[in-house]
Amino acid sequence: MLSKIESRLSSFKPVVNEFQVRRASVLIPLLEREGEARLMLTRRSDQLRSHSGQVSFPGGKEDERDRSSLDTALRETREEIGLESKDVKIIGCLDQIISLHFYLVTPFVGLIPEDFIPNPNSLETESVFEVPLNFFMKSEHHWSEELNHRKFPVISHHFFFKQYDIWGMTAKLILRLLEVGLEHQPEYQVHHLAAPPWMELAQHFDGTEESLSFHTHSPNWNRGI
């Protein structure tokens, strides 16, 4: 499964937003354990001011010390869970996405060693856990709700794994990873039919809420995830 994801991501070239906007990056860590592809996730500390207690990928805001978006993802990952950059094999990048607080987030996909033992920074990370990748491919583990978000309605996706609610931007990126990396199309509706896909919105985002209306009449709304 991981070899297929690596092969498909090697030829996947998402559009990159070149606007000078507030930026952040995340790492989507994949590993194989006992012949099973797994995804590593974190639960954010309840003490954080933003997204406290939520499940997320390691990552965060771009720092002036960072030379690139990839530097941001790797630095934040090291600070949050103790994973060194040299132990990550970056195999590709997914489409950029806009966060709830109007950051343009670049998601990198990386393979990590199966013997990696997380050392979470308790100030930022409450716990680190793994989920089998095929868990997200089973519709019975998924539910969704419709929300009025910014200028149009959206579908908010949720996956429950043990005591964790995996939702929001994290769930969207997982669904996109499954589509791009494994050609997986879920049985349920991913995008709201009255709204553009988040990938399109990110391409034209210039840092203002007004730019989110750019493709309000795009003919490509319902392509992919």
pLDDT in tens, 9-45: 999 999 999 998 999 999 999 999 989 999 999 998 7
Phi, psi of 98, deg, nearest 5: -95, 130
pLDDT in the model for residue 45: 74
The number of distinct structural domains making up the chain is 1
pLDDT in the model for residue 69: 97
* 222 located within any domain: no
Nearest partner of 73 among 28, 35, 113, judged by Cα: 28
77/38 Cα distance (integer angstroms): 17
Residues contacting residue 63 through CB under 8 Å, at least 6 positions apart: 72, 75
* 23 located within any domain: yes
* 212 located within any domain: no
pLDDT, tens digit (0-9, with 9 covering 90-100), for 206-219 = 988 788 764 544 44
Task: Provide the residue count of the chain.
Answer: 225
* 157 located within any domain: yes
pLDDT tens over the chain, length 225 residues: 999 999 999 999 999 999 989 999 999 999 999 899 999 999 987 665 555 568 999 999 999 999 999 999 999 999 999 999 999 999 999 999 999 888 999 999 999 999 999 999 988 888 999 999 999 999 999 999 998 766 778 899 999 999 999 999 999 999 999 999 999 999 999 998 888 898 998 998 998 878 876 454 444 444 444
Angle between helices 2-10 and 168-182 (to 10 degrees): 90
* 17 located within any domain: yes
* 20 located within any domain: yes
* 225 located within any domain: no
Asked if 102 and 36 count as a contact pair (C-beta separation under 8 A), the reply is no
Count of CB atoms situated within 10 Å of the CB of 179: 17
* 123 located within any domain: yes
Q: What's the CA angle centered on 80, arms 23 and 207, to 5 degrees?
A: 10
71/113 Cα distance (integer angstroms): 19
pLDDT in the model for residue 49: 56
CATH of the domain at 82: 3.90.79.10
Domain that holds residue 101: 2-132+141-206
200/205 Cα distance (integer angstroms): 9
pLDDT in the model for residue 122: 83
